[in-house]
Structure 1
Amino acid sequence: MKKLVFGLLVIAVFGCGLYIYHVCFGDPFTKNAAKQKLISYAKQTYPKKEIKITNGVYNAKTSEYVFQANTQSHRYPMCTKGFLYPKVTCDGIEEAYTESAAKRLNEEASKEIEADLKKAVPQIIKADTALSIENGQFTLDTKWNKQLAEKAPMSITMQLDASGLSKTGASKLAETVRKTLNEKRYTYSNGTIDCMQKDGDGGIGL
């Protein structure tokens, strides 16, 4: 009886040890399953790209395996989470594409808004837009159009030269901006207008 109890105790301690090791460092079986999942995911998601999955590391804080997705010119992180059926939890390639698409679309939107405002408000100095784009929402080939802001909320920050204007005059100028944006049918979640003043050296500041 004592031998049975001792044997069960040894098995329990060994099992706890394996569990703790798995929680802290992962295990080769789960790591291999994670790698195979990413290899399959990469082939299905990016069939035209040659991608190699390497350097898997277990992140105990997030319980994820983090690998490198290597293309011919770049390295991107890719992550999975789960034991028997791992799921892809991060895709650095998709994030990089989204960031690149967002940068270009924001630049195109800013230029268009500046041009539209310039006709009604010559005092416009600069317009900056920020589209809230989710990963994979738009492709690199997506071209800017006003309808995109209905899918990805857009905020606009505008700078105006309000030199010599009173508070009332600056308010009227800001109202003209708001009306112009509405007339041009821009959809935006919020807009900020900074009225700038020329300083003694002729520069522009708040």
Structure 2
Amino acid sequence: MKRIVFGFLAIAVFGCGLYIYHVLFGDPFSKNAAEQKLTSYVKQTYPKKEINITNGVYSAKTTEYVFQANIQSHRYPMCTKGFLHPKVTCDGIEEAYTESVAKHLNEEASKEIKADLQKEVPQIIKADAALIIENGQFTLDTKWNKQLAEKAPMNMAIQLDASGLSKTEAAKMAETVRKTLNEKGYTYSNGTVDCMQKDGDGGFGYVKYSIDFLPKTAIQPNDAEELGS
């Protein structure tokens, strides 16, 4: 009886040790399973692309295998997690595509926002819109329109020429920005207005006042944080 008990204990200890080793360092069996999973995944997800999976490295911090997906001269990270049945946890190809989509849409949104604000606030220097896009939400063929911001949260950063303006005057100009955005029908989560001051060379040397704002909250003079003088 004791031998049976000791046998079970030995198996349990060995199993625990094997699991701990796997968690800390990975193992060739899991690595092979992870590579096979990714090879199958890219064939199904990107059937028209020739993709090679290489350079698998185990990360003890995330308990993932991180591989490299190679498409000609481009390299993208691919990750899997799991022991017997690994799951794909990151797809660098899709993430890179989503970044390209976001860049395209953000540039178009920024141009439109600046043009709309220019009429009411001629002191505008720059408008930067940032849509928070999920993988697969939009494509490169998607055209920017204001309704997109109802599906993907958008925030924005506006730069204004506030040279020689007081804190109250800068806040008033920023409030005109907020009102104009709302009147033009923009949907956004939050924004920041940086009121710039020209330097001796005629360029914009620093942020004089910084104002964070929300769509439905009027901007007050005390909302302007003085950063330079």
What's the TM-score bracket when you normalise by the shorter of the two chains? 0.7 to 0.9
Q: CA deviation at 1:49?
A: 1.0
What amino acid sits opposite 1:161 in the alignment?
Answer: D
More off after superposition, 16-25 vs 77-86? 16-25
State the percentage of identical aligned residues: 84
Correspondence 1:47 to 2:47? yes
What amino acid sits opposite 1:60 in the alignment?
Answer: A
8 A Cα contact 1:127 1:157, kept in partner: yes
Correspondence 1:173 to 2:173? yes
Q: Which residue of 2 aligns with 1:36?
A: 36
Change (3 A) 1:171 1:84: same
What SS is found at the alignment partner of 1:18?
helix
Distance 1:157 1:167 in 2: 19
Offset from partner CA, 1:144-186 (integer Å, 9 cap, x none): 2211111111111111112343444333322221221112111
What SS is found at the alignment partner of 1:147?
helix
Offset from partner CA, 1:76-119 (integer Å, 9 cap, x none): 11111112221111111111111222122212111111111112
8 A Cα contact 1:56 1:68, kept in partner: yes
Distance 1:23 1:203 in 2: 55
Q: CA deviation at 1:45?
A: 1.5
Distance 2:13 2:167 in 1: 75
Correspondence 1:121 to 2:121? yes
Q: Which residue of 2 aligns with 1:60?
A: 60
Q: Which residue of 1 aligns with 2:212?
A: none
Distance 2:45 2:172 in 1: 51
Q: CA deviation at 1:4?
A: 5.7
Q: Which residue of 1 aligns with 2:138?
A: 138
8 A Cα contact 1:95 1:136, kept in partner: no
TM-score (ref. length: structure 1): 0.87
Q: Which residue of 1 aligns with 2:18?
A: 18
More off after superposition, 149-158 vs 20-29? 20-29
What amino acid sits opposite 2:121 in the alignment?
Answer: V
Distance 1:85 1:177 in 2: 53
Distance 1:28 1:195 in 2: 57
Please list every run of 5 or more consecutive structure 1 residues that lacks an aligned counterpart in the other structure: none
Cα RMSD for the two superposed structures: 2.2
TM-score (ref. length: structure 2): 0.80
Distance 1:167 1:26 in 2: 59
What amino acid sits opposite 1:141 in the alignment?
Answer: D
What amino acid sits opposite 1:145 in the alignment?
Answer: N
Q: Which residue of 2 aligns with 1:89?
A: 89
Distance 1:173 1:5 in 2: 80
Change (3 A) 1:201 1:10: closer
Aligned length: 206
8 A Cα contact 1:66 1:77, kept in partner: yes
Q: Which residue of 2 aligns with 1:189?
A: 189
Offset from partner CA, 1:8-49 (integer Å, 9 cap, x none): 565455434433332222223222222221112112211221
Change (3 A) 1:13 1:189: closer
Q: CA deviation at 1:5?
A: 6.3
